[in-house]
C-alpha cells in the first residue's frame, strides 16, 4: 500500500484529491467525502478528468457509510 508521501510525489493531482485518497485508504469515509466536496467546490474538473477519482469514490461507496451515502452519489455523477 502506498503512503501519503508516495502519493504526493510527482502525482500532478489536486492536493485535496490526494487527501481524499489518503483518507479513503485509511477507511475514513467522512473525511474523504469532505475533501471530495472541497474538490468539487474548487476544481470540479479534477473529478471529471482524473482516472483515480472514480476509484476513490467507488472505494468509499463500498464502505457504505450512511452519513456519506447521498453525497457520494452526487459526487459519483461528476466522475462518470
Give the pLDDT score at 12: 59
Give the pLDDT score at 67: 92
Domains of the chain by residue range: 12-79
Cβ-based neighbour number of residue 12 at 10 Å = 5
φ, ψ dihedrals at 28, nearest 5°? -120, 80
Residue 47 near residue 75, CB atoms below 8 Å: yes
| DSSP symbol at 17 | H
Q: Which grid cell is 21? A: 485518497
Tens of pLDDT along the chain (80 residues) come to 555 555 555 555 666 777 787 778 788 888 888 888 988 898 888 888 887 788 888 888 888 889 999 999 998 888 86
Q: Which grid cell is 13? A: 493531482
Cell match 468509499: residue?
Answer: 60
User: Cα(38)–Cα(49) distance, rounded to whole angstroms?
Assistant: 16
Amino acid at each position: 500500500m502506498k503512503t501519503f508521501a508516495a502519493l504526493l510525489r510527482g502525482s500532478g493531482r489536486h492536493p485535496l484529491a490526494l487527501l481524499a485518497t489518503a483518507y479513503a485508504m485509511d477507511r475514513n469515509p467522512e473525511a474523504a467525502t469532505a475533501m471530495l466536496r472541497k474538490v468539487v467546490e474548487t476544481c470540479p474538473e479534477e473529478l471529471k478528468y482524473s482516472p483515480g477519482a472514480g476509484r476513490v469514490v467507488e472505494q468509499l461507496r463500498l464502505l457504505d457509510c450512511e452519513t456519506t451515502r447521498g453525497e457520494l452519489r452526487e459526487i459519483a455523477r461528476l466522475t462518470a
